[in-house]
Amino acid sequence: MALFTKSIQAKPSPKDGIRVCIMRRPDSWAVYDIWMPVLSPSHKLLDDAHAKVIDWDGYVKRFNKEVIEGRRGYIEFLAEIAKKRDITILCWEKTPDHCHRRLVAEECQKIDPELKVILK
């Protein structure tokens, strides 16, 4: 079993397994099985990032405090599911480079180093 990441803009695939949207505001056309907005950045963090009030390093620092530390139980839950079923974490950005889905996936792998994580 594995944990994948993917842009919600990409076409769904049977290989996605359980599709978990971790966006705060998914569009109505978005295709996902589970919506976990608790793993998305706060509106304030999103607004500050889009307005360029903070850079990527600042974003990561605040996201880690808000979500990685503040919502740890949900991340542990994802890691546990991924041991039993393929899951795909979905967010907006086309690549995982500057996307919180990568941060969540990497934290899942820290929780379970044997978990196969594939970033897309």
pLDDT-based confidence at 105, cuts 50/70/90?
very high
- Which token pair is 52? 């360029």
Written as one string, the DSSP assignment of 13-53 is -GGG-EEEE--SS--TT---SEE-GGGSPPHHHHHHHHTTS
- pTM for the whole structure: 0.94
Map residue 72 onto helix, strand or coil.
helix
| Beta bridge partners of residue 117, listed in sequence order | 3
Place 27 in a pLDDT band, splitting at 50, 70 and 90: very high
pLDDT band at 34 (very low <50, low <70, confident <90, very high): very high
Q: What is the pLDDT of residues 39-92, one digit of tens each?
A: 999 999 999 999 999 999 999 999 999 999 999 999 999 999 999 999 999 999
Cα 46 from Cα 98, distance rounded (Å): 12
Q: Which two tokens stand for residue 40?
A: 């998305």
Contacts of 110 (CB under 8 A, 6+ apart): none
Q: Summarize pLDDT for 95-104 with one digit per residue, the tens.
A: 999 999 999 9
Nearest-CA neighbor of 34 among 44, 46, 43, 26? 26
